[in-house]
Chains A and B, each alone.
Chain A
């Protein structure tokens, strides 16, 4: 074994150790949270704290499904999925226009960015008023529209940066080869931004998924998302920790699946970086 390969081995080992340590540290709070869904009340309030439940019972999950609470995860899914798809599509093409053609110049770009600076807490009530007038309160369309609007600036901003990183040469040669502009966008540029797209999609989904303040004000019973449902479990005279935790598990599993799926594009996108130039 050459010294270089040996050093490489050591480095790999160290990196692995660091990766494991980091993951353990970051996962610990989640482990604690998930564990609670299997603990009994006495175990949750045990002193000294218990690090693992004495048994795995799925009663809480059963209750959540039986009572229909779990359905709110379904609502979150619908709303987050649709608004993400819409925001990614509209945002990506808009970002392309901004990046390649500088459409609207500085002013448009700045205006779009400024939309993200609006604190949701301040605008939620006027939007509520608007929605009452249009009968959009507690509807899927209303919530999806809202999340799309609130995620667009993020998508546009992020994708614009990622697109700017991609050299124009590929697109220009594709144009010369006879591709239409539309085809250039989807067939040439898109694959180059895979990693950035994947990352942006994940977080756009997450932002819609985790929103609380809009869901609280704009939904009542039909479209209640899982974040609103969880707050029902924090009472002045009760704290359904088991339910809070079980709902959190139910609420994070879909994201885990989405992330795992997006993973492939992400990792592929990172390794593709070597093929540039």
Chain B
């Protein structure tokens, strides 16, 4: 051996290592690159001429499979794709009804991750581990950004869906307003710290009210949110946890009505005072319109705001409904106060258990979700699918889409590492519904503590009906996930 480290023996060994290394690397790269190709090739064999039916959110989201991925898949594999568009609010209903009736009309599905425990419990989603191993998709699955990968893929340790949408709440703010010298000086004088996008909710209150006081005459408010109940409910989930709240205690008793919860509710209502009047009724589009017209200096929302604000629509007719952005180039991106944004909603791709084309359906979703194809999909101007893979955040094409795209992607990447998962248990919607109604009552002027006490009572009643132990197991499984509570 001693001799080997000299001269040719070592050279040979070294060469051997290099070749071995390169082969491994090539195999690894080739393996990773070909998840899309693997799927397409396999599908060519199974599905010629067949039609795969996939349930997709109606409207803008469906343009992806209708105009891009569906035709592309058909070209590469000969399998037809039929898109069943379903209004967002009806997706869960249609999937469950179809499952219960055993009609087998749907092959592949889009599901919101917080529905997964319910759907898996009911038996509506196909377990995907065997297919993943058969087609070697584990490696590429690993490369999905941690928060989505670790929180939105598995139930009870088994894979039931591929996270396919980087939904997360990030903060958008007007760089130009925050850079104004007159405002900076006045703020520093008043509060003793520099004017900047707020890192805590206390700072948000101060910054927001300050900006409104000073800019109202110019027609701009410090901030606006989509305060309509379904959206505000998700924001509450985030803030409550960021401030240290826990949804349930060790005995599965609801603790949303803890002092933290009451404080969050109270602060939320107080903040409305420096927001545009009637903000309680702002939905996604009203809030977007307000921000794009320059009437608010800060807002929190899903990633599409960033693309719309930058004017990245091109001449996309599908986006005609988006008000013209007057603030392109003036938008900054940051994590919301507290630094742990809500992974609000999102989508995962799944296979229906009653499907008659399970394997073909699986191959389609693997192909959709793969590195190669998903990178293209999240860059479609009309898409609502947001970056969700590590590679998306550093993709050179995406970075060049508009001047501030790198900051945008950086913010999304940061969010993807610290995001908080939506609460998902058995009958999640029942719990969320109680919260939604609570928000409605909050805006109507009722006392926060009373409202939250009622919400806690409803939660406990629901838990009792489902079975405390049963729900506790599911809750503990959820709470064990990295994105359940801020670390």
Which residues of A come within 8 Å of B, CB atoms? 40-42, 45, 59-60, 63, 125, 128-129, 132, 137, 216-217, 220-221, 231-243
Contact = CB atoms under 8 A, between A and B. Distances in A.
Most buried by B among A60, A216, A238: A238
| Those 5 A-B pairs whose CB atoms lie nearest each other, nearest first | A232-B58, A45-B289, A235-B59, A41-B323, A231-B87
Given A59-B317, A237-B284, A238-B384, A41 B58 contact: no
B121 interface: no
B103 interface: yes
A41 B320 contact: yes
20 contacts: A40-B320, A45-B293, A60-B320, A128-B97, A132-B102, A137-B103, A231-B58, A232-B85, A233-B58, A233-B59, A234-B59, A234-B87, A235-B57, A235-B59, A235-B284, A236-B89, A238-B59, A238-B60, A238-B321, A240-B59
Contacts of B324: 40-42
A132 B103 CA distance: 6
Contact of A45 (B82, B88, B323): B323
Interface in B238-284: 283-284
B60 A137 contact: no
B293 A42 contact: yes
Contacts of A42: 289, 293, 323-324
A71 B102 CA distance: 29
B304 interface: yes
B320 A242 contact: yes
B352 to A, nearest CB: 14
Nearest to A41: B323
Interface of B: 57-61, 82-85, 87-90, 94, 97, 101-103, 105, 230, 283-286, 289-290, 293, 302, 304, 317, 320-324, 345, 384
B286 A45 contact: yes
A235 B88 contact: yes
Given A137-B103, A137-B105, A233-B59, 19 more contacts: A40-B320, A41-B289, A45-B293, A59-B320, A63-B317, A220-B84, A220-B105, A221-B83, A231-B58, A231-B90, A232-B85, A233-B58, A234-B59, A235-B59, A237-B60, A238-B59, A238-B60, A239-B283, A240-B59
Contacts of B384: 237-238
A237 B306 CA distance: 13
A235 B289 contact: no
B114 to A, nearest CB: 13
Contacts of B285: 45, 238-239
B321 A242 contact: yes
A217 B60 CA distance: 22
Contacts of B284: 235-239
Contact of B101 (A41, A132, A234, A242): A132
Contacts of B88: 234-236
B127 to A, nearest CB: 24
Contacts of B323: 41-42, 45
A129 B100 CA distance: 9
A248 B85 CA distance: 19
Contact of A236 (B105, B321, B345): B345
A242 to B, nearest CB: 6
A235 B320 CA distance: 15
A60 B317 CA distance: 9
A45 B103 CA distance: 43
B379 to A, nearest CB: 17
Contacts of B103: 132, 137
Contacts of A132: 101-103
A60 B320 CA distance: 9
B304 A239 contact: no
A235 B345 contact: no
Given A220-B105, A232-B59, A232-B85, A240 B321 contact: yes
A216 B285 CA distance: 25
A234 B89 CA distance: 9
B88 to A, nearest CB: 5
Nearest to A126: B101
A232 B62 CA distance: 10
B59 A129 contact: no
Most buried by B among A59, A234, A241: A234
A232 B322 CA distance: 17
B97 A235 contact: no
A137 B84 CA distance: 14
A243 B59 CA distance: 10
Nearest to B317: A63
A45 B293 CA distance: 10
B282 to A, nearest CB: 11
A139 B89 CA distance: 24
Nearest to B83: A221
A46 to B, nearest CB: 9
Nearest to B61: A235
B99 to A, nearest CB: 11
A60 B293 CA distance: 23
B71 to A, nearest CB: 15
Most buried by A among B290, B320, B324, B384: B320
B321 A239 contact: yes
A156 B323 CA distance: 50
Contacts of A240: 59, 321
Contacts of A236: 88-89, 230, 284, 345
Contacts of B85: 221, 232
Nearest to A217: B97
A128 B101 CA distance: 8
Contacts of A233: 58-59
A186 B309 CA distance: 66
B94 to A, nearest CB: 8
A117 B84 CA distance: 32
Given A41-B289, A41-B323, A237-B60, A232 B87 contact: yes
Contacts of B90: 216, 231
A236 B61 CA distance: 11
Contacts of A238: 59-60, 284-285, 321, 384
Contact of A241 (B57, B89, B321): B321
A242 B317 CA distance: 12
Contacts of B290: 45
Contacts of B302: 237
Nearest to B60: A238
Nearest to B106: A220
B245 to A, nearest CB: 25
Nearest to A124: B97
A72 to B, nearest CB: 11
B58 A129 contact: no
A28 B480 CA distance: 56
Given A128-B101, A132-B101, A220-B84, A41 B59 contact: no
Contacts of A216: 90
B317 A41 contact: no
A59 B89 CA distance: 28
Nearest to A66: B317
